[in-house]
Structure 1
Amino acid sequence: METQFAAVLGAVVIAGFVAAIVLWTGVIRSYFGSEIAFSESILPVEPRQVPFWRVFDFLFAFGLSLVLTILIQGIFISQGWIERFEPDESIPLQTLVASLVGQSLSGLLVVGVTLAWLRLIRPDAVKQLGFDWKASDMQLGFRASAMLIPPTLLISSAVSYLVPYHHPVMESLEKSPSIGIFAILFVGTAIIAPLVEEFLFRVLMQGSLQQLADSIANNDDTVIDREETPSPHWTPRSYWPIVVTSVIFALMHFGQGAAPIPLFVLSLGLGFLYRQTGRITPSLVVHCVLNGFSLSAEFARLWVEKAS
């Protein structure tokens, strides 16, 4: 059974790489012979309103997430849901799961509170933050998944030979590869975590840095009124906000072995998606697909080993 599983997983991975090569080849072919920039051949930038939120709003949300995480973890400890353990001991399964649940709860609260705060400034904040729904964004997200995830997995596999990969979610699943544990971890890591991270890093951080970067590039000292609706014809110009956001995003995963390296590369792609569209859905789909695939593949592997 393990051999059959390895064959199926290998076929899926190969199909993913073939799809990535075909899609990237199409992009490169469309670029040569045209007069448009390479970034525009990948994905044309969409005009929109200049971001009204600032770096302060990101710092507010990030600080709130730290406070809420500590508060919820403290409540869980007081209820006995999180057990204390020595540094050289393995983390108990109950503690791992409870910690992840606490992080998910704090993340959802951060998104909700921050959206409420920004809506006090601008009633249309939810739309301007990129939460407006477009069915085409789902298609774009899945297409981008085929282009970004295979290279990310290839880099991850390469660097894992140098530095072993560690992640509490995978450790939880390895300790108890049950459907119940898998369902809890899947909701937390493949749905909630991507939503929180894309909102914090792609929207709040990159969006605010983009507004700042373009103001500097244009030598524009005009102060934008956060409560007034600006022109809907703004398009981003600078690219360094993507790089800065990706560096910080990767460093936030420090302690998971060499994971920051492939995550930095992935974040560049996610940042590009958000820069060109101004909406969260495309990058969120890619993030969800990657986390969901990684977790599902690991669960299937452990389940096959247990059944053998």
Structure 2
Amino acid sequence: MAFAAPGVLLAPVLGRPDGVSLHGRVLKEAPGEGSSALSRNVRRLAARNWEGAKVEVDFQGVVATVTSGHDGYFEVNLRPPEGGRFAVGASRAQARVGEVSTSARVEVVEDARALLVVSDFDDTLAVTEVTKPTKLVSSALLKDAGTQPVVPGMAAFYGCLRGGQGAPAFALVSGSPIQYLSRVEGFLSRHGFPEGFGVYLRDIGPGTLSGYKQPLIRRLLQQFDAPVVLVGDSGEKDPEVYAQIREEFPGRVRAVYIRDAGRTKDASRFRDMVLFKAPREAAEHAVGAGLADAACVSAAFVKAAPATAAPTPP
């Protein structure tokens, strides 16, 4: 199996004017492109982590060096120069290991941003059928950004969400492995989801088989003061995770939207949540809750005109 070495993964993140936290992973071998989705995915998952790599990160002229941990993971918190602030909006951060470098988008969110949307990925935005092991494995290994099916209407739903100061900040918190970072980013771009997602993927290991979402979501809610919308699906534990977060942060969660992906017989799982089959249902609810633009939803989800009976021949 051919590799180009080494490799650096740097995740796109949300930041604040007073601080940005960057994270990623260093690989001893950067997987090549591969001739098929299977070869690309296997190479992503097989690339060895690099412990002890010196990683130099740079964001808006603030530079720091950090050492990767046992799994190649690194994280660094950057602060603007004394008395300054990071510029609001989109800009790029860089990470370098030796002669190898990469970059990622950082969306610095203004303090007045009025809505934070925290979203799942598998079976919420992308059709992966997590509840069916055979199809899940097929999706994980045989699909890629260009072939992974999208949940129709979810990009339109997200594009119509609004806070008091305009478009929300979006954070993707998913059980997809961090090695699939480029695949997830490519999927979001290909299917027209709003730009500026922070992407927070799972560091695969025995300690992350469960309970991996709550710490990430807690950090986001502690980092940003904005009201929150949580979006997930019914196939795994999103309703339970989101109910826990809502209880821990009283008054912060404006709405919880759960896509019907099966396992919906127990209605108590979805108490005070919006369980929807079609994204239009979620979008129309969001309009009523003051979370989405009515004109945008009306234009994005044009209702089919009633069928017209064929004229009777003379």
Common topology (TM > 0.5): no
More helix by share: 1
Question: TM-score of the superposition, structure 2-length normalised?
Answer: 0.25
Question: TM-score of the superposition, structure 1-length normalised?
Answer: 0.25
More RCO (CA 8 Å, sep 6+): 1
